[in-house]
Amino acid sequence: MITPGNIAFDIDGVFADTMALFLEIGRKDYGINHIRYQDITEYFLEECLDIDPEIIRVIINRILEGDFEQELKPIDGSVEVLSEIAEAHPLLFVTARPELATIKEWVHKMLPMRSSVIEVIATGNLEAKGDVLSARGIRYFVEDCLEVCHMLSEHTITPILFSQPWNCSSHHPFREVSKWAEIRGLVNLHSG
């Protein structure tokens, strides 16, 4: 069992259903109706989607900047489980996003609790996550990018891979979860 103070979380693809928002913006604003969630088989979208790379870049930038009318929704079960964990220990989110304000505001909107129990760190790149987590004494990290999981294991951080279509094509040695209830089952809420 994981002690609540020893685990931290990625946001996009783990807490925030960012790819569903990407598809919704693509459909509504760009008429892209031929792509399904299951078609996103690579973390870097240009490698798997039949969409002009410039449109992919524009949609991603809009998401990062909060420039969309659609709703960025949390992944099913995440709000409930994160709220339970927050009762035992403050939450730490580490994202590779380059800018903090937009995603931090979203996290606080989804988890309406005292700001002192939520910390959000934006590293600006995938490679920096390991250093941030190590500096915080984090031993477990829930992540959807397989490449980051490999990097974290080099920092002696145990990755927990949140299963998504873009991380299912490769064999890996990491514990995998597909639902937030499974994450809840790994955390000892009575040890925080």
Taking each helix axis as running N to C, give the angle between helix 53-65 and helix 18-30, from 0 to 180 degrees, rounded to the nearest 10: 120
Quick one: 124 and 161 in the same domain? yes
Total-model pTM:
0.94
What pLDDT, on the 0 to 100 scale, is given for residue 69? Answer: 92
**Is the confidence at residue 41, as pLDDT, over 80?**
yes
Please give the average per-residue pLDDT across 130-154, as a whole number: 95
Quick one: 167 and 97 in the same domain? yes
Confidence of residue 63 (pLDDT cuts 50, 70, 90): very high
pLDDT tens digits, one per residue of 146-155: 999 999 999 8
For 28, the domain range is 18-65
Quick one: 45 and 121 in the same domain? no
Task: Please tell me the distance from the alpha carbon of residue 140 to that of residue 122, in angstroms, as a whole number.
Answer: 18
Distance of CA 99 to the CA centre of its chain: 15
| Least trusted range by pLDDT, from 37-46, 88-97, 130-139 | 37-46
Answer yes or no: are the C-beta atoms of 187 and 4 closer than 8 Å: yes
Quick one: 82 and 41 in the same domain? no
Is the C-alpha dihedral spanning 102, 104, 106, 108 positive or negative?
A: negative
Q: Is 91 helix (H, G, I), strand (E, B) or coil?
A: strand
